[in-house]
Amino acid sequence: MIQIASLLKGKLIDIWPLLPAAIYLFTSLVLVIVYLLKLAFTHRGVFPSLTPVQQVLQDPEFSDALINSLFFVLVGTPTELCIGILLALLIYTAPVLRSTLRSFFILPMAFPGLVIASLFFILFNSQGGMVNDLLMGRYDFFPAIIETDINWSGNRWFSLILSMMGKVWRDMPLSMLIILSGLNAVDVSIFDAAKTLGAGFRHRLLFIVIPLIFPAIKTVILLRSIEMWKEFIFPYVLSGRYYLLGTLVEHYYNGFSGQPEKGSVVALILLVCVILSLFTLLFLLQNIEKRLINRGSDASAA
């Protein structure tokens, strides 16, 4: 008992500086969720009421926003992961230019998301945008590819892909740094030994690099999937009426009709989607990690 008490005392001494912040964050989260629950289940002053939930579930804008958000998560997360891995490998395999390349690739994080979204809006504007001018052959150095201007923001999938491009480019440095930290923790002699034994780049990547940096990959997938679910700035600026769940909350809450109860319902649904996707990803990633470990053990035994 004395040992357990001393151990608990030591743990409390280690974590007590974090307790005020933890209490503040937990209290804020509880207050927000309670307020959302009260607002989401109130209709014309009557509480509880399922009318706002029924209205949201029957609204075509909600189903479209859910599909758009799923598209963002299922396509944007692996895209950002793959780009992060490629750039991290590029930096890792170029020791002479490592600091220069790292500084260059981190540049997008220096700009606010709203600035980058506005830049993409200007570049891809259907009226006078530089991309349309380039494709129309209005610059002497580039031939004409299209005959009429493309309304990028007027097409659902064009605008969503454009929003995703901006999001991935803006947040890619964080994924790259996480993967790079995983690579830096690996002993270089392992790669040298595999190369000496005749393993090609593909085999080194699939059977050595990815299993060794899988904890970093798992971190990127979990963090970036959350970011993709709750994305707001880029679809708000670039997608317009093609809502994601995050922008649909704003549309309901601050729109012409002013329906905060419906916005609260969508916010709660978004929270549930994030939690469900996290548990699903944790389950899948843990199974993949076990298979990678077993495959490595079988290879070592052989």
Closest CA to 273 of 225, 217, 224: 225
What is the per-residue pLDDT for 79? Answer: 92
**Ordered DSSP codes for the chain:** -HHHHHHHHHHHHHHGGGHHHHHHHHHHHHHHHHHHHHHHT-BTTBSS-SHHHHHHHT-HHHHHHHHHHHHIIIIIHHHHHHHHHHHHHHHHT-STTHHHHHHHHHGGGGS-HHHHHHHHHHHT-TTT-HHHHHHTT-STTS----SS---GGGSHHHHHHHHHHHHHHHHHHHHHHHHHHHHHTS-HHHHHHHHHTT--HHHHIIIIIHHHTHHHHHHHHHHHHHHHHT--HHHHHHTTTS--HHHHHHHHHHSSS--HHHHHHHHHHHHHHHHHHHHHHHHHHHHHHHHHHHHHHHHHH-
Strand partners, 46: 43
What is the per-residue pLDDT for 40? Answer: 80
What is the per-residue pLDDT for 7? Answer: 54
What is the per-residue pLDDT for 300? Answer: 47
**Does 1.10.3720.10 match the CATH number of domain 55-301?**
yes
Would you kindly state where each structural domain of the chain is located, as residue ranges? 1-41, 55-301
Low-confidence stretches of the chain (pLDDT < 50) are: 300-301
pTM more than 0.95: no
Q: Are 238 and 163 in contact (CB under 8 A)?
A: yes
